[in-house]
């Protein structure tokens, strides 16, 4: 059975998991106030960088005694800075349940050479969170972008932990509630839930993380781009917008525009509601079909940003080729770009549901999944 071509198309077919869709209020004109051709150390540049930090604090509800820095190299830069600057002081546990967490574990064990405990789970699952020894530093990804599995909350992290928690929250920040009292280091990139530009990362430090930086010097060398302290003291300027090296003021302006849009839709609560509504539109669709399912096994851990789907129909002969063909068909039709599963993840689709995506577009996409699925089943035969 080949279903008919659906009547409605998503107005915006951009469902990539990063860089994610720009927010609906974005046009290039909204960047016209960018401090282009000016020094980022001039008052105009510094003011914008400071505003980016303080508006981030306001919208995410980050405590006043936490430090927020804009750092080089997107989320990866922020995570690597934390790993290289802080680890080695005590034992380390790495939590791995998808590709990015696996990458951090490789860095820590192979590059830093630390004898870390690595707790892994298959795509779709979480490792046993009850088994973690918080006397160690614990490194984890809040939302696994490539499996669509997130930790359900921060209840599994004790308030009186001895080690630090280092959390890659890049596909969670601005879509999921982050319990700041449980997070010592948190990172994200502008290009994810806010649909900003890549290049810069955000590094958020609790007072305990700052204490670690000021009391511990790792045995390995640190390039300038990673250095957060000087003479054993935190370089405070980084956390006021005096960046380590030159940032893109165009990207900064774009981030400020995204933050203003975030406020206009109700701040964090509004952003979470938008991501939840997008995910529900997919969940309603999945529930009515017996040929598609979430990669996430437990609904309590289902991501509301990087929603990963697998095909479960017995008629499918080659799962990977089938999923690729569905994604390609939707791309060629111009109704969904970039929704193939991540290269290391199980075959399937990944549809970004973060706040910048409109629920009407997700809803409009669903009948096209029926259409592409049936067309590929027919093409196989
Ligand atoms: C969980 C996670 N960590 C890290 C990254 C890398 O982010 P960036 O390319 O912004 O450095 C990504 C990108 O998708 C991600 O999803």
Query: Tens digits of per-residue pLDDT, 306-328?
Result: 999 999 999 999 999 999 999 99
The span from the CA of 18 to the CA of 372, in Å, is 23
| Three-state SS at 10 | coil
Taking the centre of ligand 1 as the mean of its atom positions, its distance from the CA of residue 170, in whole angstroms, is 6
Residues with Cβ within 8 Å of residue 278, at least 6 apart in sequence: 304, 307, 353, 354, 357, 359, 362
Backbone angles phi, psi at 157, to 5 degrees: -100, 120
- Is the CB of 168 within 6 Å of ligand 1? yes
Query: With bands split at pLDDT 50, 70 and 90, how would you rate the model's confidence at 1?
Result: low
- Is the CB of 243 within 6 Å of ligand 1? no
pTM above 0.95, yes or no: yes
Query: Tens digits of per-residue pLDDT, 49-58?
Result: 999 999 999 9
In contact, 206 and 69? CB cutoff 8 Å: no
Query: Tens digits of per-residue pLDDT, 184-235?
Result: 999 999 999 999 999 999 999 999 999 999 999 999 999 999 999 999 999 9
- Is the CB of 278 within 6 Å of ligand 1? no
Distance linking the first and last C-alpha atoms of the chain: 11
From 76, 101, 107, 174, mutation site for ligand 1 pocket: most ligand atoms within 8 A of C-beta? 76
Residue 155: is its pLDDT beyond 80?
A: yes
As a whole number, mean pLDDT of residues 125-150 equals: 98
Taking the centre of ligand 1 as the mean of its atom positions, its distance from the CA of residue 77, in whole angstroms, is 10
Q: What is the pLDDT of residue 381?
A: 84
Mean of per-residue pLDDT scores for the chain: 97
The span from the CA of 198 to the CA of 200, in Å, is 6
Residues with Cβ within 8 Å of residue 310, at least 6 apart in sequence: 292, 293, 294, 295, 323, 346, 347, 348
Q: What is the pLDDT of residue 2?
A: 58
The span from the CA of 14 to the CA of 27, in Å, is 15
As a whole number, mean pLDDT of residues 77-92 equals: 98
Question: In 3D, which of 316, 309, 310 has the Cα closest to residue 374?
Answer: 316
Distance of CA 341 to the CA centre of its chain: 15
In contact, 34 and 235? CB cutoff 8 Å: no
CA distances to 87, 239, 343 from 107, in Å: 11, 26, 19
Query: Tens digits of per-residue pLDDT, 232-243?
Result: 999 999 999 999
Q: Which atom of ligand 1 is nearest to the CA of 75?
A: 11
In contact, 50 and 286? CB cutoff 8 Å: no
Output the six-digit token pair for 215. 């009391």
Query: Tens digits of per-residue pLDDT, 159-172?
Result: 999 999 999 999 99
Residues with Cβ within 8 Å of residue 92, at least 6 apart in sequence: 108, 114, 116, 117, 136, 137, 138, 139
The span from the CA of 316 to the CA of 348, in Å, is 12
Question: In 3D, which of 222, 266, 267, 262 has the Cα closest to residue 244?
Answer: 222
- DSSP lists the bridge partners of residue 11 as none
As a whole number, mean pLDDT of residues 28-51 equals: 97
The span from the CA of 331 to the CA of 113, in Å, is 42
As a whole number, mean pLDDT of residues 263-291 equals: 98
- Is the CB of 100 within 6 Å of ligand 1? yes
Query: With bands split at pLDDT 50, 70 and 90, how would you rate the model's confidence at 3?
Result: confident
Query: With bands split at pLDDT 50, 70 and 90, how would you rate the model's confidence at 61?
Result: very high
As a whole number, mean pLDDT of residues 75-83 equals: 98
The span from the CA of 274 to the CA of 305, in Å, is 10
Backbone angles phi, psi at 229, to 5 degrees: -130, 160
The span from the CA of 228 to the CA of 344, in Å, is 32
Nearest protein Cα to ligand 1, atom 13: 18
- Is the CB of 257 within 6 Å of ligand 1? no
Output the six-digit token pair for 198. 């890549």
Taking the centre of ligand 1 as the mean of its atom positions, its distance from the CA of residue 141, in whole angstroms, is 10
In contact, 119 and 128? CB cutoff 8 Å: yes
- Is the CB of 30 within 6 Å of ligand 1? no
As a whole number, mean pLDDT of residues 361-380 equals: 97
Residue 254: is its pLDDT beyond 90?
A: yes
């Amino acid at each position: 059975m080949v279903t008919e071509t659906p009547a409605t198309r998503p107005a915006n077919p951009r469902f990539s998991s990063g860089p994610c869709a720009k927010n609906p209020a974005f046009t290039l004109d909204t960047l016209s106030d960018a401090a282009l051709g000016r020094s980022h150390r001039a008052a105009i540049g510094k003011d914008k960088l400071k505003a980016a930090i303080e508006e981030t604090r306001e919208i995410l509800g980050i405590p006043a005694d936490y430090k927020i820095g804009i750092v080089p190299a997107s989320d990866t830069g922020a995570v690597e800075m934390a790993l290289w600057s802080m680890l080695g002081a005590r034992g380390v546990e790495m939590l791995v349940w998808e590709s990015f967490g696996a990458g951090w574990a490789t860095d820590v064990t192979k590059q830093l050479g630390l004898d870390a405990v690595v707790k892994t789970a298959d795509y779709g699952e979480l490792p046993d969170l009850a088994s973690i020894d918080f006397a160690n530093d614990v490194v984890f990804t809040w939302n696994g972008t490539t499996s669509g599995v997130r930790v359900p909350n921060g209840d599994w992290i004790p308030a009186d932990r001895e080690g630090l928690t280092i959390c890659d929250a890049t596909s969670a920040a601005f879509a999921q509630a982050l319990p700041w009292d449980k997070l010592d280091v948190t990172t994200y990139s502008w290009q994810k839930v806010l649909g900003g530009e890549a290049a810069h990362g955000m590094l958020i430090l609790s007072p305990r993380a700052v204490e670690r930086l000021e009391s511990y010097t790792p045995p390995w060398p640190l390039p300038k781009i990673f250095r957060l302290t000087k003479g054993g003291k935190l370089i405070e300027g980084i956390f006021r917008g005096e960046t380590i090296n030159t940032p893109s003021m165009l990207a900064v302006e774009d981030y400020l525009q995204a933050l203003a849009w975030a406020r206009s839709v109700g701040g964090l609560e509004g952003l979470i509601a938008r991501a939840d509504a997008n995910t529900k539109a997919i969940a309603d669709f999945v529930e009515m079909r017996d040929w598609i399912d979430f990669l996430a096994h437990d609904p309590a851990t289902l991501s509301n940003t990087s929603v990963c789907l697998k095909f479960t129909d017995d008629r499918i002969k080659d799962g990977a080729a089938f999923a690729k063909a569905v994604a390609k068909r939707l791309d060629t039709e111009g109704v969904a770009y970039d929704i193939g599963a991540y290269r290391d993840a199980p075959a399937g689709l990944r549809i970004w549901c973060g706040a910048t995506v409109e629920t009407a577009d997700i809803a409009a996409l669903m009948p096209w999944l029926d259409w592409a699925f049936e067309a590929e089943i027919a093409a196989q035969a």
